[in-house]
Chains A and B, each alone.
Chain A
């Protein structure tokens, strides 16, 4: 599944964040603004309530004067909006004072204030009274209800001011908030993708450079030239490392292909030349026979090489032994020693196998046979004429089983030893087939040993000869 692009993800995230911040700020601003507007009204109402109470507490004031004072307190204030007032003694049907007038009748909420808003004596409450017209909020009132003990009685003072203007103002403010918040969000939405693109430009550049990698330019030191952001540093070095390894593998493959080509071309050249010379002029029967024998011998060599190449390819293709079985190594080595003893005898050499008790390893019998065949063939090939090849099997050291193949051949130079298992390695740049080897025998040996989780060591000494030691895990 393809995930969303980083650009889109970041843009959405940043925009969402911006939207949330703008919304929260707007809500907070709205609430604060509403509180402050209500606070203004409430302050006025408290002031008016306090003034009315003070007026009521004053004794000996004639009712006309008192009423005039009430009107003065509530009638005209700075904003020009008339306040309403309702004062009555608890238990008395008679109102002490109402601001009822023909122009502005007392709101029903003031005549019969909601019981749930009734404050305790000596306390006050502030509440909203909904309007009666369609837009109830706009024609609503903000009211203050005060209950005070006065001369053994409880006086109720209820003053209210219209709060419609407040809601007009709040509505205006809300509109402003929506417009400004919306534009901020829109700007963020438009800008963020560009900013993200700019921030990601090195990724885009790296992508372009990576797109140019082919098997031909793998060898470059670094694919991402130029500076990369710190976050991409590990990515870049990991990538460079990977490309380096791929390059090495590629070069190795190329070398191997070149070697294979060389190894196959040389015998082909020999066979071609042999046969072409036979055809150049009439020959005697003996000459023809010799030529055909030569060609056959070279063909056998090619066939051997092709066989070994296929063996290696098969070993390379599958890392594990397909179905490992228990192999009696002592029996296997004994049969091999017998086969090679006959062959060696014809060349005046000998193969000696030191018997051992039953020893088992887990593995593939054919591969193990190939492994020791190659080692014994090498010992016979590179050992001295009429020499002796000794094969010894030892059960140990735990947890190993050790097989030594020893010949009295000349010393292998120490600098050559580490390369003996390289494919087509022959000690010098030549691929001389004078010795008859293909240069793949030990490479195959190592592959088989590794597949059997064992190890192999070659030691060489001019006095004692060459010993190949193979260790395999004991079953």
Chain B
């Protein structure tokens, strides 16, 4: 999952990014002014945008409005020190999905981010099941046929993204875009390495592989018909 934080208070942005990376293993980009933030929001497919309202150059509401005008439906969480009811109403009217006022509780913030991302993939239930595999996106516990499987952070992120889009072919490019931020060194064979690692961990004697390669297009996770 890839998140964009547009927040001019640099330390706060770094803190949020750190929390999202550590607890959710999200890829996070930070932008500290409105102009750059808008540019990034339009150029990358984010799964969530955390938006401050009072930004240098371009205001948060303006960014939100231009995103929605272009038909971009990325979930947007407004994080601002403005707490007047009319500000909240204005934000919700402009098409934000959630609104939090500073100072906020980090735990609540993370929970709301999680819920927003889940909603993007149309899965209100935090537990996603594909055949005998079950991924709890809330506690990040993966079980296969009732047995708990431990995964590395990157492997989990990859698996979570695949199961959220279960049944769909996910291209390498999409995986790169959603799982890595700008700071990550991304090579296309990195994906292949993680995929094969993931396959090994999920291959516990079942005759049916879960992750399939679609030649020339990408990967798909689905229950193979027996």
Give B102's nearest chain A residue, CB to CB. Answer: A269
Asked if residues B10 and A434 are in contact (CB atoms below 8 Å), the reply is yes
Partner of A277, one of B8, B54, B103, B106: B106
Indicate if the CB atoms of B82 and A262 lie closer than 8 Å. Answer: yes
Cβ 8 A contact of A430, one of B12, B16, B19, B56: B56
**Are B106 and A429 in contact (CB-based, < 8 A)?**
no
Residues in B52-100 with C-beta less than 8 Å from chain A: 54-57, 59, 81-84
For residues 270 through 306 of chain A, which have their beta carbon under 8 Å from a beta carbon of chain B?
A: 270-274, 276-277, 280-281, 294, 298
- Is residue A339 within 8 Å, beta carbon to beta carbon, of the partner chain? no
Contact of B165 with A by CB under 8 A:
no
Residue A179 lies at the interface, judged by CB distance under 8 Å to chain B? no
Q: Which of A389-446 contact B (CB under 8 A)?
A: 428-434
Closest chain A CB from B126 CB (angstroms): 19
A280-B22, A429-B54 in contact; A298/B102 too (CB < 8 A)?
no
Distance (whole angstroms) from the CB of A394 to the closest CB of chain B: 37
Minimum C-beta distance from B207 to chain A (A): 39
A258 within 8 A of B: yes
The answer to whether A272 touches B106 (Cβ under 8 A) is yes
* Residues 248 to 270 of chain A near chain B (Cβ within 8 Å): 258, 261-262, 265-266, 268-270
> Cβ of A270 and Cβ of B106 under 8 Å apart?
no
Give the A-B contact count at a CB cut-off of 8 A: 81
B12 adjacent to A280 (CB under 8 Å): no
Interface centre among B10, B12, B105 (most CB of A within 10 A): B12
Contacts of A266 in B (CB 8 A): 9, 12, 81, 102
By a CB distance below 8 angstroms, the chain B residues around A258 are 82, 84
- A428 contacts B9, C-beta separation under 8 Å: no
For residues 1 through 55 of chain B, which have their beta carbon under 8 Å from a beta carbon of chain A? 8-12, 15-16, 18-19, 22-23, 32-34, 54-55
Interface SS of B by simple majority: loop
Q: Which of B11, B22, B34, B59 is close to A270, meaning CB atoms less than 8 Å apart?
A: B11
Query: Which of the residues B18, B57, B107 comes within 8 Å of A428, measured between beta carbons?
Result: B57
A272 to B108, CA, bound (A): 13
Confirm or deny: B121 has a beta carbon within 8 angstroms of a beta carbon on chain A: no
Nearest-CB distance from B13 to chain A (Å)?
10
Contact assessment for A430 and B55 in the assembled complex, using a CB-CB cutoff below 8 Å: yes
* Residues of chain B with a CB closer than 8 A to A429's CB: 54-56, 59
Contacts of B12 in A (CB 8 A): 266, 269-270, 273
Which A residues are CB-close (under 8 A) to B120? none
Q: Are A261 and B23 in contact (CB under 8 A)?
A: no
Q: How many angstroms from the CA of A428 to the CA of B59 in the assembled complex?
A: 9
User: Is B101 a contact partner of A265 (Cβ separation < 8 A)?
Assistant: yes
B85 to chain A minimum Cβ distance, whole angstroms, is 12
Q: Which of A152-186 contact B (CB under 8 A)?
A: none
The 9 A-B pairs at the shortest CB distance, nearest first, are namely A269-B102, A430-B56, A276-B106, A273-B15, A269-B103, A265-B81, A268-B103, A262-B81, A432-B8
Hey, which bits of chain A sit against chain B, CB under 8 A?
A: 258, 261-262, 265-266, 268-274, 276-277, 280-281, 294, 298, 428-434
Measured CB to CB, the residues of B under 8 A from A are 8-12, 15-16, 18-19, 22-23, 32-34, 54-57, 59, 81-84, 101-107
| Contacts A/B (CB < 8 Å), 10 sampled | A261-B83, A266-B9, A266-B12, A273-B103, A273-B106, A276-B107, A277-B18, A280-B19, A280-B23, A430-B55
13 other A-B residue contacts (CB within 8 Å) besides A265-B83, A269-B103, A277-B15: A261-B83, A262-B54, A265-B81, A270-B12, A273-B16, A273-B19, A276-B19, A276-B105, A277-B19, A280-B22, A429-B59, A433-B9, A434-B10
